[in-house]
Structure 1
Amino acid sequence: MGGALTRYRVIAWIVGVALVVLVLIGMPLKYGFDNPSVVAVVGVAHGWLYMLYLALTFDLSRRADWPLKRMLLVMLAGTVPFVSFYAERRVSHWVAAGNRPRTPEPVAG
């Protein structure tokens, strides 16, 4: 599952950065200065990268055996600026917690 987590973490950061660039730089340039060039490039790139983000999130969620609600919420995190960074940290903690060896319960004798 380590490879799936690494792939998810990388794409979450890439999608997050692309979305922040799109919203904080591209949109003001397009609507404030009539320059759609950043939106034309970064918008298309974000769309394709988001599809990859969905696929890698699905892969990780199936390997980690997440409930459907968790998977869908993590998938939606790539659509709101800065939320994918938060989701990436949460996912890393969830997966790390799921991989810890569990100490056996003491048996009453």
Structure 2
Amino acid sequence: MTDPAATPAESAEATRASAVTPGALLRYRVMAIITGVLLIVVFLGMLRYVGLFERTEEVEEAFGILAQVHGFVYIVYLVTVVQLWLQAKWGYGRLATMFFGGIVPLLSFFIERRVTRELRPAQEERA
């Protein structure tokens, strides 16, 4: 038998995925990983408040700087998220989920994997 024809939802999803440029996906992936790593470091830095390690002035200053760097990187991450979201023409729920990826520890890694798995096949077909 032949394969059944693609449903309208599947063909619309494939059309959206093919509209995403490889550069936009790569920028998003890089920023998601960098943002996720920095967020984990900042989160671990919060453990100094529960007495896990000594709170010296140098430690306070270092984690303060890391938190500011994460804030700047998060803004760049948001720009890459919006660019990818506009190209893929996703809904607002996906946009919100991707935004939370830079605020909730480990979420950016899971979202990045899901987005890449969804968009990669259409990108490989174009190549």
Sort the TM-score into its range (normalised by shorter chain): 0.7 to 0.9
Q: What TM-score does the superposition give when structure 2 sets the normalisation length?
A: 0.71
**How far apart are the structure 2 equivalents of 1:40 and 1:30?**
13
Give the direction of change, closer, same or farther, for the CA distance of 1:7–1:17 in structure 2 (3 Å limit). same
Note the aligned Cα RMSD (angstroms).
1.7
Q: Number of aligned pairs?
A: 100
Contact map agreement 2:22 2:123 (CA 8 A) in 1: no
**How far apart are the structure 2 equivalents of 1:60 and 1:54?**
10
Contact map agreement 2:31 2:76 (CA 8 A) in 1: yes
Partner in structure 2 of residue 7 of structure 1 = 27
**How far apart are the structure 2 equivalents of 1:40 and 1:46?**
10
Is 1:83 equivalent to 2:97 in the alignment? no
Any gaps of 5 or more consecutive residues in structure 2? Answer: 1-20
Moved over 3 A (4+): 97-101
Q: Which has the higher contact order (CA 8 A, sep 6+)?
A: 2
Partner in structure 2 of residue 27 of structure 1 = 46
Matches within 5 A, 1:51-66: 51-66=75-90
